[in-house]
Each structure stands twice: as C-alpha cells, then as structure tokens.
Amino acid sequence: MSSAISTNELTKRYRGKTALAGITFDVPAGSVMGVIGPNGAGKTTTMRLLLDLIRPTSGYARVLGQDPRVGGTALRSRIGYLPGELRLDGRATGKDLLTHYARLSGRVQAGTVEALAERLGFDPTRRIRTLSKGNRQKLGLIQAFMHRPDLLVLDEPTSGLDPLVQQEFLALVRDAKDEGQTVFLSSHVISEIQQAADFVIILKDGHIVNSRSVSALRSEAARKVRFVMQSDDLEGDRSRITYEAGLGNVRTLEEESGSRVVVEGTLESTPDQFIKALARLTIVDLVIEEPDLERAVLSFYENDLEGAASHAH
C-alpha cells in the first residue's frame, strides 16, 4: 500500500531547543492515523512541517508523494488542514469565509458546505467574531473537509466540541476513510483515537515512544475484571482464579451475609481461558471492562526514556 505521509528522521530545532528529535513514520494511504502525546510533545510541529508552514532542521517528509517544500498550492489544495489554534476574527460571516476559501481551492462541490454545516450544527450566517470556541472549531472543520481533500491533517480536531458534535466529527472521519481519504489527527485523549484511528503514534518530548495499530494496543492493554461468586472454599477458588483462569492482582472481598465473594483483578489470560475456568465456579455477576488504553499510553509516557534512547541509535 502506498503512503500518504512518510517521514525520515524529521527534525526541528529552535535555537538549541529540540521540538522534534528525528521522527520516522508512515501513514498508509486510506488509513486514519492518530498522534497522541502530552503538551509540548511535538504534535503541532509535525503537522506544521507536513504543511510546509515551517521547515525541518534536518530529515524530510513526503506528503502525497511530494516534498512539501516544493509541492506548492497544487499539493496544498489536496490537503485539508485544521490548525490547532484558529485565528479568526472579523465582521465577515462563516459563509463569507468559506466561500472565499472555496474560491481559492476551486474544488468545492455545490451543497457540500451546507451539508457539513448541517451535520455539525453550524450557523454560517453568524459573524465570525461572535462565534464561541466550539463554533469556530466547527468552521475550521468545515473548511478542512469541504473540498474532499486526499489528506486531512487535523490538529486537536475535537477541542471545544460538545460530546454530540464530537460523535458527528468521528462519523465524518469514518466517511472520509470510506471515500479513500487519509486522515492524520492529533489528540490528548486516547478514547478518541481509539474510536477514530487505525494506527497510533505516541509522541513525547519530540520522540516517537511507540507506534502500533490501535487493535494491537487494545489487545496489550490490561482489562479489569470484577465478578461475584458463591464460594464455600475460598482458598481453592482463589487458586483456581489465579492459575486456571489467569487473573492477576486478585483481590477478594467476602460479603457480610452468606458465602458471596467479590473478586477483582486484571485479565492476563485470553477471555476464552478465563471464561472456561470460571464456568466451574458459581458466578452471580460478571463485568469485564474495556481495555484500559489510557493507562497503556501513560505507561509509554513514563517509560519513554528507554524508548527515546533506543530510537537515538
């Protein structure tokens, strides 16, 4: 599969401060790639380099097969970009601004702006300076999506959006992917990346500390399990739960009345092994939680020194 974006040792330094320390990654065409990382990790810097808003200190990027430094307006018109900080002001209305952008790109089909405004609940007749943060963000999203670009580069796309609009945004991303468009988006929130993305890059202090598919991240992440069982032999059942069912960090709490016991732990075996071992116990209630991706990502942040060192070699 061809790459919509590929970088090689992409590096950006500002007077001694390293914003991006040589990152190498690929975004397969037609996929959704999420970039997650704490403040100052280098997410915005990466995106600005891809858009040729800033230039690399060393290393290079290819965007839709071209060097962003030479792609010019032809390349730019194939990209939809939502900057992290939208500087919008003025007496013009949202519609005025979108019409202006649409003329510049020359690729917006009739009805597209209206359809996007409708989906996101955006009123294009309002003056831009009167718009709330969330409504400015919607305007930014409409201008990024409206010309159906081959590549969408979205810096914190859901910041300021209420949960319903966030869901609609995720639907827009799915639709874009269905149309064969590539999406590169950043977020602070793993749940969003989990819902939207095929792949994730975890960035910290200008280094990629990890990159993998979202499904791999899910299958590696710890799942918490909680159940209530009827037990007359707690010792025996505890050992069955630990060794046969493969539950780690087992905690048990005997309920005051009767022989019910609440059991909590983390799933270290497969769900299949776990369920089959549990079948021999008397289970009153059972909850297996979603994989805790948040914690998995945080552990990558914490262990980043190792990751950064191995990347440096």
Ligand X SMILES: Nc1ncnc2c1ncn2[C@@H]1O[C@H](COP(=O)(O)OP(=O)(O)OP(=O)(O)O)[C@@H](O)[C@H]1O
The nearer residue to ligand X, 43 or 119, going by C-beta atoms, is 43
The nearer residue to ligand X, 35 or 293, going by C-beta atoms, is 35
Applying CB under 6 A, the site for ligand X has a residue count of: 12
Distance of closest approach, residue 39 Cβ to ligand X, in angstroms: 3
Task: Provide the CB-side half-sphere exposure for 248 (13 A, CA).
Answer: 8
Give the whole-angstrom CA distance, residue 7 versus residue 203. 14
The letter for the amino acid at 158 is: T
Give the whole-angstrom CA distance, residue 15 versus residue 56. 13
- Residue 42 binds ligand X, judged by CB under 6 A: yes
Give the whole-angstrom CA distance, residue 109 versus residue 106. 9
- Residue 41 binds ligand X, judged by CB under 6 A: yes
Binding segment for ligand X (CB under 6 A), chosen from 43-51, 90-98, 171-179, 267-275, is: 43-51
- Residue 243 binds ligand X, judged by CB under 6 A: no
Q: Name which position in 1, 39, 163, 272 contacts ligand X (CB under 6 A).
A: 39
Please tell me the total number of residues recorded for the chain in this structure. Answer: 313
Distance of closest approach, residue 188 Cβ to ligand X, in angstroms: 6
Cβ contacts of 62 within 8 Å, gap of 6 or more? 3, 5, 6, 7
The nearer residue to ligand X, 78 or 204, going by C-beta atoms, is 204
Cβ contacts of 104 within 8 Å, gap of 6 or more? none
- Cα-only R_g, the chain: 24
Distance of closest approach, residue 265 Cβ to ligand X, in angstroms: 34
- Residue 40 binds ligand X, judged by CB under 6 A: yes
Give the whole-angstrom CA distance, residue 172 versus residue 32. 12
Q: Name which position in 1, 17, 70, 257 contacts ligand X (CB under 6 A).
A: 17
Distance of closest approach, residue 23 Cβ to ligand X, in angstroms: 11
- Residue 16 binds ligand X, judged by CB under 6 A: no
The nearer residue to ligand X, 43 or 177, going by C-beta atoms, is 43
Give the whole-angstrom CA distance, residue 204 versus residue 190. 14
210 forms beta bridges with 202
Distance of closest approach, residue 193 Cβ to ligand X, in angstroms: 14
- Residue 83 binds ligand X, judged by CB under 6 A: no
Strand order in the sheet with 17-28: 17-28, 3-14, 58-63
Binding segment for ligand X (CB under 6 A), chosen from 34-42, 113-121, 272-280, 281-289, is: 34-42
Q: Name which position in 45, 166, 181, 231 contacts ligand X (CB under 6 A).
A: 45
Contact 208, 201 (CB under 8 A): yes
The nearer residue to ligand X, 14 or 243, going by C-beta atoms, is 14
Nearest to 50 by CA among 25, 32, 30, 31: 25
Q: Name which position in 28, 83, 84, 121 contacts ligand X (CB under 6 A).
A: 84
- Residue 19 binds ligand X, judged by CB under 6 A: yes
- Residue 44 binds ligand X, judged by CB under 6 A: yes
Contact 195, 170 (CB under 8 A): yes
**Residues within the interface to ligand X (CB under 6 A):** 14, 17, 19, 37, 39-45, 84
